[in-house]
Amino acid sequence: MTTFVLIHGSYQGGWIWQPVADRLRAQGHQVLAPTLDGCAERAGSLRPGITVETQAAEVAQLLLYENLSDVVLVGTSSGGMVMAKVAEINPARVRRLVFADALALQHGEKVTDFVSQPSSIVHELALGPTREDAEGRLFASLDPELRAWAVERCTLHPIAAHRKAVELETFWSQDWNADVIYCRQAPNPGEAHQRRCADALGARWHELDTGHYPMLSAPDELVEIILSED
Protein backbone atom coordinates (compact mmCIF):
# COMPACT_ATOMS: atom_id res chain seq x y z
CA MET A 1 0.00 0.00 0.00
CA THR A 2 1.23 3.46 -0.93
CA THR A 3 0.03 6.72 0.58
CA PHE A 4 -0.87 9.36 -1.98
CA VAL A 5 -1.60 13.00 -1.19
CA LEU A 6 -3.24 14.74 -4.13
CA ILE A 7 -2.96 18.53 -4.31
CA HIS A 8 -5.40 20.46 -6.47
CA GLY A 9 -4.88 23.65 -8.44
CA SER A 10 -6.62 26.99 -8.79
CA TYR A 11 -10.43 27.26 -8.80
CA GLN A 12 -10.58 23.66 -7.59
CA GLY A 13 -10.81 21.66 -4.40
CA GLY A 14 -10.12 18.11 -3.34
CA TRP A 15 -13.26 17.19 -5.29
CA ILE A 16 -11.41 17.34 -8.63
CA TRP A 17 -9.39 14.25 -7.69
CA GLN A 18 -12.41 12.00 -7.10
CA PRO A 19 -12.00 9.83 -10.24
CA VAL A 20 -8.29 9.30 -9.50
CA ALA A 21 -8.76 8.80 -5.76
CA ASP A 22 -11.48 6.19 -6.36
CA ARG A 23 -9.22 4.23 -8.69
CA LEU A 24 -6.24 4.33 -6.34
CA ARG A 25 -8.32 3.29 -3.33
CA ALA A 26 -9.83 0.44 -5.34
CA GLN A 27 -6.28 -0.90 -5.67
CA GLY A 28 -5.73 -0.76 -1.92
CA HIS A 29 -3.85 2.52 -1.58
CA GLN A 30 -4.36 5.23 1.03
CA VAL A 31 -5.40 8.50 -0.58
CA LEU A 32 -5.86 11.98 0.85
CA ALA A 33 -7.08 14.85 -1.33
CA PRO A 34 -7.21 17.88 0.97
CA THR A 35 -8.93 21.08 -0.07
CA LEU A 36 -6.55 24.00 0.31
CA ASP A 37 -7.33 26.95 2.57
CA GLY A 38 -9.81 29.38 1.00
CA CYS A 39 -10.91 27.01 -1.77
CA ALA A 40 -14.05 25.01 -2.63
CA GLU A 41 -15.91 24.01 0.56
CA ARG A 42 -13.37 26.09 2.49
CA ALA A 43 -14.16 29.28 0.57
CA GLY A 44 -15.74 30.63 3.75
CA SER A 45 -12.25 30.87 5.26
CA LEU A 46 -11.04 33.23 2.52
CA ARG A 47 -9.12 36.12 4.11
CA PRO A 48 -5.95 38.18 3.63
CA GLY A 49 -2.70 36.30 4.05
CA ILE A 50 -3.49 33.01 2.30
CA THR A 51 -0.47 32.21 0.14
CA VAL A 52 1.20 29.22 -1.46
CA GLU A 53 3.38 29.04 1.65
CA THR A 54 0.50 29.04 4.15
CA GLN A 55 -1.42 26.46 2.14
CA ALA A 56 1.68 24.28 1.94
CA ALA A 57 2.37 24.62 5.65
CA GLU A 58 -1.11 23.31 6.34
CA VAL A 59 -0.60 20.27 4.10
CA ALA A 60 2.80 19.66 5.72
CA GLN A 61 1.03 19.67 9.09
CA LEU A 62 -1.46 17.15 7.71
CA LEU A 63 1.42 14.77 6.97
CA LEU A 64 2.64 15.23 10.55
CA TYR A 65 -0.66 14.85 12.34
CA GLU A 66 -1.75 11.88 10.23
CA ASN A 67 1.71 10.36 10.80
CA LEU A 68 2.23 9.85 7.08
CA SER A 69 5.57 8.77 5.70
CA ASP A 70 6.96 7.52 2.40
CA VAL A 71 4.31 9.70 0.75
CA VAL A 72 3.80 10.23 -2.97
CA LEU A 73 2.71 13.81 -3.56
CA VAL A 74 0.78 14.55 -6.75
CA GLY A 75 0.22 18.20 -7.69
CA THR A 76 -1.63 19.72 -10.62
CA SER A 77 -1.73 23.24 -12.06
CA SER A 78 -0.89 25.80 -9.33
CA GLY A 79 -0.93 22.90 -6.88
CA GLY A 80 2.53 22.11 -8.21
CA MET A 81 3.86 25.11 -6.30
CA VAL A 82 2.13 23.99 -3.12
CA MET A 83 3.47 20.47 -3.57
CA ALA A 84 7.03 21.73 -3.99
CA LYS A 85 6.75 23.81 -0.83
CA VAL A 86 5.29 20.88 1.13
CA ALA A 87 8.27 18.78 0.07
CA GLU A 88 10.68 21.55 1.01
CA ILE A 89 9.09 21.87 4.48
CA ASN A 90 8.91 18.16 5.23
CA PRO A 91 11.26 16.24 2.91
CA ALA A 92 11.70 13.29 5.28
CA ARG A 93 8.06 12.28 4.78
CA VAL A 94 8.11 12.50 0.97
CA ARG A 95 9.23 9.63 -1.27
CA ARG A 96 8.19 10.87 -4.72
CA LEU A 97 6.73 13.88 -6.51
CA VAL A 98 4.40 13.79 -9.50
CA PHE A 99 3.89 17.05 -11.42
CA ALA A 100 0.60 16.51 -13.31
CA ASP A 101 0.58 19.34 -15.88
CA ALA A 102 1.68 21.45 -12.94
CA LEU A 103 3.25 24.83 -12.46
CA ALA A 104 6.80 24.33 -11.21
CA LEU A 105 8.04 27.77 -10.28
CA GLN A 106 11.55 28.67 -9.26
CA HIS A 107 12.15 30.76 -6.14
CA GLY A 108 10.93 34.33 -6.71
CA GLU A 109 8.70 33.57 -9.71
CA LYS A 110 4.95 34.22 -9.87
CA VAL A 111 2.09 32.47 -11.66
CA THR A 112 1.59 35.59 -13.76
CA ASP A 113 5.12 35.17 -15.14
CA PHE A 114 3.89 32.11 -17.04
CA VAL A 115 0.08 32.30 -17.32
CA SER A 116 -1.07 35.44 -19.12
CA GLN A 117 -4.79 34.62 -19.40
CA PRO A 118 -6.56 37.33 -17.36
CA SER A 119 -9.07 36.29 -14.73
CA SER A 120 -12.70 37.15 -15.41
CA ILE A 121 -13.24 38.05 -11.76
CA VAL A 122 -10.68 39.84 -9.62
CA HIS A 123 -11.54 40.75 -6.04
CA GLU A 124 -9.36 42.07 -3.24
CA LEU A 125 -8.96 38.55 -1.84
CA ALA A 126 -9.55 36.19 -4.76
CA LEU A 127 -9.67 35.77 -8.50
CA GLY A 128 -11.06 33.31 -10.99
CA PRO A 129 -13.41 32.61 -13.89
CA THR A 130 -17.07 33.43 -14.27
CA ARG A 131 -19.37 30.45 -14.66
CA GLU A 132 -19.50 31.14 -18.40
CA ASP A 133 -15.70 31.25 -18.63
CA ALA A 134 -15.36 28.02 -16.70
CA GLU A 135 -17.84 26.32 -18.99
CA GLY A 136 -16.65 27.80 -22.27
CA ARG A 137 -12.89 27.78 -21.67
CA LEU A 138 -11.52 25.96 -18.61
CA PHE A 139 -13.65 22.82 -18.86
CA ALA A 140 -14.78 23.18 -22.47
CA SER A 141 -13.11 19.95 -23.64
CA LEU A 142 -14.84 17.74 -21.07
CA ASP A 143 -17.93 15.71 -21.84
CA PRO A 144 -21.09 17.75 -21.13
CA GLU A 145 -22.12 15.87 -17.99
CA LEU A 146 -18.62 15.97 -16.51
CA ARG A 147 -18.23 19.62 -17.53
CA ALA A 148 -21.43 20.58 -15.71
CA TRP A 149 -20.26 18.69 -12.61
CA ALA A 150 -16.92 20.55 -12.60
CA VAL A 151 -18.38 23.99 -13.36
CA GLU A 152 -20.81 23.66 -10.46
CA ARG A 153 -17.84 23.18 -8.10
CA CYS A 154 -15.52 25.83 -9.52
CA THR A 155 -14.62 28.60 -7.03
CA LEU A 156 -12.34 31.63 -6.84
CA HIS A 157 -8.75 31.18 -5.67
CA PRO A 158 -6.86 33.21 -3.04
CA ILE A 159 -5.26 36.04 -5.00
CA ALA A 160 -1.86 36.02 -3.28
CA ALA A 161 -1.24 32.48 -4.52
CA HIS A 162 -1.11 33.98 -8.04
CA ARG A 163 0.27 37.45 -7.44
CA LYS A 164 2.91 36.81 -4.75
CA ALA A 165 6.34 35.41 -5.66
CA VAL A 166 6.78 31.83 -4.52
CA GLU A 167 9.30 31.09 -1.78
CA LEU A 168 11.30 27.95 -2.61
CA GLU A 169 14.77 28.68 -1.31
CA THR A 170 15.98 25.06 -1.05
CA PHE A 171 13.60 22.90 -3.10
CA TRP A 172 15.48 23.07 -6.39
CA SER A 173 18.84 22.31 -4.81
CA GLN A 174 17.64 19.01 -3.34
CA ASP A 175 17.45 15.58 -4.97
CA TRP A 176 13.91 14.36 -5.64
CA ASN A 177 12.40 11.23 -7.11
CA ALA A 178 10.05 12.88 -9.57
CA ASP A 179 7.80 12.48 -12.58
CA VAL A 180 6.62 15.26 -14.88
CA ILE A 181 3.44 14.83 -16.94
CA TYR A 182 2.86 17.15 -19.89
CA CYS A 183 -0.70 17.39 -21.24
CA ARG A 184 -0.37 18.13 -24.96
CA GLN A 185 -3.76 19.84 -25.36
CA ALA A 186 -3.21 22.29 -22.49
CA PRO A 187 -2.01 25.77 -23.54
CA ASN A 188 -0.71 26.51 -20.04
CA PRO A 189 1.73 26.04 -18.44
CA GLY A 190 3.07 24.57 -21.70
CA GLU A 191 5.75 22.14 -22.82
CA ALA A 192 8.74 24.45 -22.29
CA HIS A 193 7.75 25.00 -18.66
CA GLN A 194 7.31 21.27 -18.10
CA ARG A 195 10.63 20.48 -19.79
CA ARG A 196 12.41 22.99 -17.56
CA CYS A 197 11.00 21.23 -14.48
CA ALA A 198 11.93 17.76 -15.75
CA ASP A 199 15.44 18.85 -16.64
CA ALA A 200 16.01 20.59 -13.30
CA LEU A 201 14.88 17.54 -11.33
CA GLY A 202 16.19 14.81 -13.63
CA ALA A 203 12.58 13.62 -13.64
CA ARG A 204 10.91 10.93 -15.71
CA TRP A 205 8.96 12.45 -18.62
CA HIS A 206 5.41 11.49 -19.59
CA GLU A 207 2.89 12.90 -22.06
CA LEU A 208 -0.88 12.61 -22.16
CA ASP A 209 -2.91 13.62 -25.20
CA THR A 210 -5.49 15.50 -23.19
CA GLY A 211 -6.22 18.89 -21.67
CA HIS A 212 -5.24 20.55 -18.40
CA TYR A 213 -7.53 18.40 -16.24
CA PRO A 214 -6.28 14.84 -16.82
CA MET A 215 -7.76 13.69 -13.51
CA LEU A 216 -11.16 14.23 -15.16
CA SER A 217 -10.50 13.64 -18.85
CA ALA A 218 -8.02 10.75 -18.63
CA PRO A 219 -8.12 9.29 -15.10
CA ASP A 220 -7.10 5.77 -16.11
CA GLU A 221 -4.02 6.96 -17.98
CA LEU A 222 -3.10 9.35 -15.18
CA VAL A 223 -3.42 6.63 -12.55
CA GLU A 224 -1.20 4.36 -14.63
CA ILE A 225 1.54 7.00 -14.56
CA ILE A 226 1.03 7.76 -10.87
CA LEU A 227 1.47 4.06 -10.12
CA SER A 228 4.34 3.53 -12.56
CA GLU A 229 7.00 3.67 -9.84
CA ASP A 230 4.98 2.01 -7.10
Output the average pLDDT for the chain.
96
Amino acid at residue number 27: Q
Residue ranges covered by each domain of the chain: 3-226
Characterize 101-139 residue by residue with b for buried, 16 or more Cβ atoms within 10 angstroms of its Cβ, and e for exposed. Answer: bbbbbeeeebbeeebeeebeeeeebbbbbeeebbbeebb
pLDDT (tens digit, 9 = 90+) per residue, 147-206? 999 999 999 999 999 999 999 999 999 999 999 999 999 988 999 999 999 999 999 999
User: Residue 180: its pLDDT value, please?
Assistant: 98
pLDDT band at 89 (very low <50, low <70, confident <90, very high): very high
- In a 3-state reduction of DSSP, which class is residue 148? helix
Whether pLDDT at 137 is above 80: yes
Residue 204 β-bridge partners: 179
**What DSSP string describes 106-138?**
PTT--GGGT--PPPSEE-SSEEE--HHHIIIII
Residue type at position 4: F
Please state the rounded mean pLDDT for residues 93-117.
93
Helices 52-65/79-89 angle, 10° precision: 50
**Quick one: average pLDDT of 110-130?**
88
The CA distance from 134 to 74, in Å, is 23
Q: Is the pLDDT of residue 145 over 70?
A: yes
Cross-sheet strand order for the sheet of 157-158: 121-122, 126-128, 157-158
Longest dimension (CA), the chain: 44
Determine the residue type at 145. Answer: E
Q: Tell me what the mean pLDDT of segment 81-86 comes to.
A: 98
- Give one DSSP letter per residue of 27-96, joined into a string: TT-EEE-PPPTTSGGGGGG--TT--HHHHHHHHHHHHHHTT--SEEEEEEETHHHHHHHHHHH-GGGEEE
- pLDDT at 230 exceeding the cut of 70: no
Distance, in Å, from the CA atom of 204 to the CA atom of 191, rounded to the nearest integer, reads 14
Strand partners, 100: 76, 181
| Per-residue pLDDT at 119 exceeds 70 | yes
Whether the model clears a pTM of 0.85, i.e. scores above it, the answer is: yes
**Residue 120 pLDDT exceeds 90:** no
* Fold of domain 3-226: Rossmann fold (3.40.50)
Percent residues over pLDDT 90 in the chain: 94
pLDDT digits (tens, 9 = 90+) for 45-65: 999 999 999 999 999 999 999
β-sheet bridge partners, residue 157: 127
